[in-house]
Amino acid sequence: MVLTRRAALSACATMPLAGCLDAFRSGQVGVRVDNRDDRRHAVDVEFLSEGELVAEKRFTVDAGTERAAENVVAAGEYTVDVTLDGAASTSVEFTMQGCTDNTLFVSVSEEAAVEAGVLDEC
């Protein structure tokens, strides 16, 4: 197939627009929990903005498995409190790090300790 000059110019004119559309997407934050322990655990995740609770998600994660949830909260900057089995907890500052969408990663170690951070997959 041979492109005409008009068809080629028309195709090129739409390319910048496609890249600009990403700026209008309302980004989302997901949560991924990895349980490396040999026991089942309950993990509570709370997203706070200026001290106010914005979203909360609870996971029950079987031994040696991973659970995930998408679109937990809108893109933004949060303080995230993570509680393991109602006792052990950690807090992390969550930012989008330039991404439209991003993920909070929570890890439960073999010693049943909990850690959290920004996954930053974009």
Give the pLDDT confidence of 5-53 residue by residue, as tens digits: 444 445 444 444 444 444 444 699 999 999 999 999 999 999 999 999 9
Task: Mention every residue, 6+ apart, whose C-beta is less than 8 A from residue 53.
Answer: 46, 47
**Domains along the sequence of the chain with CATH:** 26-118 (2.60.40.4150)
pTM: 0.77
Give the pLDDT confidence of 72-107 residue by residue, as tens digits: 999 999 999 999 999 989 999 999 988 999 999 999
CA distance 84 to 75: 24
- Give me the phi and psi of 19, to 5 degrees please: -70, -35
